[in-house]
Structure 1
Amino acid sequence: MAAPLLVIGLDGATLDLVRPWAAEGRLPVLRGLMQRGTWGRLRSTVPPATFPAWTSLVTGVNPGRHGIFDFSARVPGTYRVRFVNGSHRRAPALWTRFSAAGRRVAVLTVPATYPPEPVAGVMVSGFDSPLATAIDGSFVHPRALYGEIQGLVGRLPFADFQEVDTGPGWHADALARLLDGIERRTTLARTLLVRERWDAFMVVFGESDTVAHHFWRFHDRRSPRHAPGPFGDAVRHVYEALDAAIGTLLAAAPPDATVAVVSDHGSGGAGDRVVHLNRRLAECGLLAFTRRTPAARLAGAARGIALRALPHRWLGGLVRRLPAAASRLESAHRLGGIDWRRTTAYSEELDYHPSVWLNLRGREPEGTVDAADYHTVRDDVARGLLEWRDDAGRGVVRRVWRREELYRGPFVASAPDLLVELARTDGYTASCLRSGGPGPALRRLAPHEYGSGKGSGMNGSHRRHGLVVLAGRDVRAAGEIPAVEILDVVPTLLALGGLAVPEELDGRPIEVALQASVPLVADPVPAPATPPIDYGAAEERDVRARLTALGYLEPGA
């Protein structure tokens, strides 16, 4: 009989920190797992962004097959975006496969899993938009469990505070809330773990990602943005709290459980260089700006007001209830001020997801590029980015991928035409920020910007390599292994859980970690056939007036 699985996700956790702190004895639980199991770097998706990375990890297929490329997706025939959620995933996940096999599962706060699926067990969804801060009853299956969660831990937060303004007092409050969030999630997970013998139990902690984004410059004395002060150990304190949480969950799990600790990507420092991709495209004659219209200026201001003024607990619910309005505002904020009739290529300028779209005739409403010229123009755009140099003659862009170089499957056309990896300077990433109009394509942050929050260049950024640690009865004590792919996690967990490993998956079992070889079989679980979840008019009406009053939604929208 297969041992039960305990899968613990640490969003953004990096071996660059775990390895030395484990060796120093600061992370004793992780150190013990590493000593008796197999561990190494986990190579994430490109880009290493939360939604596509976690979705790839739990499905074993690339974004071209599961369809999740970002928090948002383009609305066909428009320049607008819409927020996506777990119902847009087009491939079965780990828990789907266990449920289909008649196994019992518990799934807690895995990103991109809203709305919850009717699994054979319980599911508490993860955040479904970048604005979600805590669960409500709609996140829970069965819904009756929500009342018990409220009684047990009260609010179950993600990042239960605004991350835009990071002024005086913000960091002390944020650190306290991160540590409190770890404690609440651990309490819930432990309570459910001891309730029954689950065949597969998965929980994801997001605090390791949030602390890296906002506290890296305090931790890293080499950072160009380094700031000495009382928060120099904040990142380590969060990692230590997570290590203790893993210990609590191990103690609650069956003694024969197989344990996997995984992260969707790693983390590192952001430097003081800012890149504006649309300004670079304008320098190359590929994009033209128009005068910033009052509506576009209002969109940016309204978005900022909403992020600052709205009680933060409302934001995720409003995105879920008014997705069309939220997507219109987000779209205007990202792409306002572009003269489409004179534009060949453009970027949404997402800091965590640098990419470029062609203004393609027949796809974009004011497209200028003929389909016959697609490949030639795309190559010209890539060349213009790769030829970009700073004042010291260093390349600004390390690599440009055509989307078909990264992705395979029926949803490749939903990806940006070009994916961009910015070059690091002395090991630190640049921040990709919104142009907002003409100006220098490359600049340095001013000192007062070093501690900026979301949307203005946070001081910690994603890295492609996360981590994987495996331990248990059926896991070899192989120690450190070469880097493996994020797509290899699910095939390995299926093998350890005694389920069939489909040959159709993009990933393969990590053979060096397994005691026995694993045969591959035809996939017994079909892809989801149900359409994505739509939002009804009744859900919108109850918050429309509130949004309008707060400037998040234009009157009459």
Structure 2
Amino acid sequence: MLKRFVTAVFLAGLVLAPLGCGKKKSAPVIVIGLDGAEFSLLVPWMEEGHLPNLKQFMDEGAFGELTTVYPILSPVCWTSAVTGVNPGKHGIYDFQRSGKDGAPALVEQATSRRALPIWLLLDDYGYRSGVMNVPMSYPPDPLRKGKMISGFPFPQADINITYPPSLEDEIGDYPLDFLGESLFKRTPEEMLRDFYKGLEARAKVAEEWVGSGDLDFGWFVFTAPDKVQHFFWKFMDPSHPNHDPSSSSELKTAIFDLWKEQDRVLGRILTAAPPDARIIIMSDHGFEGIYRQVNMMNWLADTEFPEWLANHATPPMMVTNGVLHYHLEGLVPGSADGEALKDEFVRLAEGLRDPETGDAPFEKVFRKEDIYSGRTLEKAPDIVFYENPYYYVTSGVSPDSLDLAWIENLWSTSFSAYHRPEGIVAMRGPGIEPSTSGTLRERLQAGGDFKKANIMDITPTILALVGEMLPDQLDGRVLEEVLTEQQRLDYPVVVGEVPGFLLDRPVREPTEEERESMKAIPYLDGE
């Protein structure tokens, strides 16, 4: 499959390369991704002086909230960020996808991606790129003028995650980035040590690459904030049902302390960057504590759905991370019954109320047609749940062991916080209009410096900053409201057809050997 992928990329390059020829290169663009960055945490800490580098960056640039796509999962969100399209076009909906004909779920990889990421577009235009740790970027893309270190998920531990392959020898002790319940099989203190080790390893790479002067474009992602917030929120939050007041101060301040270190790392990268670099700091989503969980299997058992499903030939149901896969429209010839069932499912789910609090667990329940468009719609989950704050959707237990209530206090011993749709974005550098009015809190309360920025807007904005053609199949827009008049005059936005941007290749089914290796993937264990 990799050979086919390489061929597709280079064929696209033969068509695209002339578009970027003969034009003076602009100043470099650097993206720093802070997975899970959340303003409700960061603004108070910036105001109190604990995150001086992030505060200075936002004071000197433009910033605001960045809404994301659904489901709010790192592989989905980051893929929309780097392609500028919705999941219906890029084809990544989860860490895993349903197997064919009832086969076990399969882990997604970059080879499942159906749209070119920005580093491949820029590679075709002749830019020198450096890409590090972007989720859903394994296997690494073959860059003709760049280098890349893949981000999770990985099929196994003993793999080469770099392009060129020789780069792995240069980066030294660089731990793979894993995520999941299995991480909590170690002590919290051991987890924290690993988070800091990974943060420092990635900091060294980013600092060296950004400071080398060899990059026209870079995209670097730090996932330590996401992990520490997932696992350590309950120690920080006295209202959390799993909060233990007797926990050590190290655990209670784990999130705060890691953010201080992340800020120091940010300062190192900003210092290393060329003075004319345009820098974007962003997150893929926000965060909030989760207090209550909805066990979907248990709820389904109390509805009329089991009887309906027992009388129809149905594929196995897969519920994960707030998405439901049933592909109901294919169950009955003509699909009328399947569509009616989906409508009824949405109606009942939206009408649910927590008997303990009276609150609705779901702010919205989407059918896939409500939020996706594109050629991969058939692969999309049938239903996507958008939880209200403090609620979390899980599969619960299998129908053979229905011993849980459909809703209850969070019982996970590891995750204590989860994703919210409002992330962050900040931009600074030549061509970007800095805001001059108000404190950070005042600017944010006024809506920030952007007009409803979405994660799909990052790639179009980068292409506009460097003056390259925007594919007409992008779903995002250029964030022109923060670009200077001179930037818009020097690099007017041009939209046109970019052949090969949306890839048309079959998804390769894994071999039996690969299926076996996937069973040991740590960040899928228990999720």
TM-score above 0.5, yes or no: yes
Identity, % of aligned pairs? 30
| Partner residue of 1:378 out of 342, 345, 364 | 342
| Partner residue of 1:62 out of 86, 103, 109 | 86
Residue pair 1:276, 1:349 contacting (<8 A) in 2 also? no
| Partner residue of 1:235 out of 241, 255, 266 | 255
Match of 2:398 in 1: 436
Kindly state the Cα deviation for residue 355 of structure 1 after the two structures are TM-superposed: 2.6
In the alignment, the residues of structure 1 paired with residue 86 and residue 315 of structure 2 have an alpha-carbon distance, to the nearest angstrom, of 26
Kindly state the Cα deviation for residue 433 of structure 1 after the two structures are TM-superposed: 3.8
In the alignment, the residues of structure 2 paired with residue 165 and residue 88 of structure 1 have an alpha-carbon distance, to the nearest angstrom, of 26
Pair 1:33 & 2:57 matched: yes
Residue pair 2:328, 2:338 contacting (<8 A) in 1 also? no
Amino acid at match of 1:44: T
| Partner residue of 1:140 out of 162, 165, 177 | 162
TM, length-normalised to structure 1: 0.78
Deviations 1:502-524 (A, max 9, x none): 33311111111111334232033
Q: Which ranges in structure 1 are unaligned for 5 or more consecutive residues?
A: 290-338, 553-557
Q: Which moved more, 1:414-423 or 1:398-407?
A: 414-423
Q: Which moved more, 1:243-252 or 1:517-526?
A: 517-526
Q: Helix, strand or coil: the match of 1:77?
A: helix
**Paired positions, count:** 472
Pair 1:189 & 2:206 matched: yes
Match of 1:327 in 2: none
In the alignment, the residues of structure 1 paired with residue 178 and residue 385 of structure 2 have an alpha-carbon distance, to the nearest angstrom, of 28
What does 1:131-530 correspond to in 2, within 5 Å? 137-150=159-172, 154-159=173-178, 163-164=181-182, 166=184, 170-228=187-245, 229=247, 230=249, 231-271=251-291, 273-287=292-306, 341=311, 347-350=317-320, 352-355=321-324, 357-360=326-329, 363=330, 367=331, 371-392=335-356, 393-424=358-389, 428-437=390-399, 438-445=402-409, 449=411, 452-453=413-414, 458-478=415-435, 480-481=448-449, 482-516=451-485, 517=488, 518-527=492-501, 528-529=503-504
Amino acid at match of 1:202: W
Amino acid at match of 1:390: D
Kindly state the Cα deviation for residue 23 of structure 1 after the two structures are TM-superposed: 1.3
In the alignment, the residues of structure 2 paired with residue 368 and residue 533 of structure 1 have an alpha-carbon distance, to the nearest angstrom, of 28
TM, length-normalised to structure 2: 0.82
In the alignment, the residues of structure 2 paired with residue 407 and residue 342 of structure 1 have an alpha-carbon distance, to the nearest angstrom, of 27
Amino acid at match of 1:372: A
In the alignment, the residues of structure 2 paired with residue 235 and residue 500 of structure 1 have an alpha-carbon distance, to the nearest angstrom, of 41
| Partner residue of 1:127 out of 152, 155, 163 | 152
In the alignment, the residues of structure 2 paired with residue 532 and residue 410 of structure 1 have an alpha-carbon distance, to the nearest angstrom, of 13
Amino acid at match of 1:488: D
In the alignment, the residues of structure 2 paired with residue 236 and residue 405 of structure 1 have an alpha-carbon distance, to the nearest angstrom, of 38
Residue pair 1:74, 1:81 contacting (<8 A) in 2 also? yes
Q: Helix, strand or coil: the match of 1:31?
A: helix
Q: Which moved more, 1:386-395 or 1:112-121?
A: 386-395
Deviations 1:354-393 (A, max 9, x none): 3352545xx4xxx468613232221111112122223254
What does 1:83-102 correspond to in 2, within 5 Å? 83-102=107-126
Amino acid at match of 1:520: V
Q: Helix, strand or coil: the match of 1:113?
A: coil
| Partner residue of 1:103 out of 127, 133, 137 | 127
Q: Closer, same or farther in 2 for the Cα pair 1:483/1:65, shift >3 Å?
A: same
Q: Closer, same or farther in 2 for the Cα pair 1:110/1:21, shift >3 Å?
A: same
Residue pair 1:159, 1:210 contacting (<8 A) in 2 also? no
Q: Helix, strand or coil: the match of 2:363?
A: strand
Match of 1:81 in 2: 105
Kindly state the Cα deviation for residue 394 of structure 1 after the two structures are TM-superposed: 3.3
In the alignment, the residues of structure 2 paired with residue 142 and residue 155 of structure 1 have an alpha-carbon distance, to the nearest angstrom, of 16
Amino acid at match of 2:117: A
Deviations 1:47-68 (A, max 9, x none): 1111110000000000001111
In the alignment, the residues of structure 1 paired with residue 362 and residue 140 of structure 2 have an alpha-carbon distance, to the nearest angstrom, of 39
Kindly state the Cα deviation for residue 209 of structure 1 after the two structures are TM-superposed: 0.6
In the alignment, the residues of structure 2 paired with residue 277 and residue 241 of structure 1 have an alpha-carbon distance, to the nearest angstrom, of 38
In the alignment, the residues of structure 2 paired with residue 464 and residue 409 of structure 1 have an alpha-carbon distance, to the nearest angstrom, of 22
In the alignment, the residues of structure 1 paired with residue 45 and residue 499 of structure 2 have an alpha-carbon distance, to the nearest angstrom, of 41
Q: Closer, same or farther in 2 for the Cα pair 1:106/1:389, shift >3 Å?
A: same
In the alignment, the residues of structure 2 paired with residue 122 and residue 379 of structure 1 have an alpha-carbon distance, to the nearest angstrom, of 47
Kindly state the Cα deviation for residue 243 of structure 1 after the two structures are TM-superposed: 1.1
In the alignment, the residues of structure 2 paired with residue 398 and residue 346 of structure 1 have an alpha-carbon distance, to the nearest angstrom, of 27
In the alignment, the residues of structure 1 paired with residue 81 and residue 337 of structure 2 have an alpha-carbon distance, to the nearest angstrom, of 36
Deviations 1:76-115 (A, max 9, x none): 4335321110011111111011101011000011011111
Q: Which moved more, 1:203-212 or 1:502-511?
A: 502-511
Match of 2:438 in 1: none
Kindly state the Cα deviation for residue 123 of structure 1 after the two structures are TM-superposed: 0.7
Q: Closer, same or farther in 2 for the Cα pair 1:369/1:11, shift >3 Å?
A: farther
Residue pair 2:209, 2:215 contacting (<8 A) in 1 also? no
What does 1:525-540 correspond to in 2, within 5 Å? 525-527=499-501, 528-529=503-504, 531-532=506-507
Deviations 1:510-539 (A, max 9, x none): 1111113342320335233555566567x6
In the alignment, the residues of structure 2 paired with residue 124 and residue 58 of structure 1 have an alpha-carbon distance, to the nearest angstrom, of 15
Residue pair 2:101, 2:315 contacting (<8 A) in 1 also? no
In the alignment, the residues of structure 2 paired with residue 137 and residue 166 of structure 1 have an alpha-carbon distance, to the nearest angstrom, of 24
Amino acid at match of 2:391: T
In the alignment, the residues of structure 2 paired with residue 79 and residue 394 of structure 1 have an alpha-carbon distance, to the nearest angstrom, of 37
Deviations 1:433-453 (A, max 9, x none): 42222345424348xx46x13
Amino acid at match of 2:398: G
In the alignment, the residues of structure 2 paired with residue 277 and residue 440 of structure 1 have an alpha-carbon distance, to the nearest angstrom, of 10
Q: Closer, same or farther in 2 for the Cα pair 1:33/1:278, shift >3 Å?
A: same
Q: Which ranges in structure 2 are unaligned for 5 or more consecutive residues?
A: 1-24, 436-442
Q: Helix, strand or coil: the match of 2:32?
A: strand
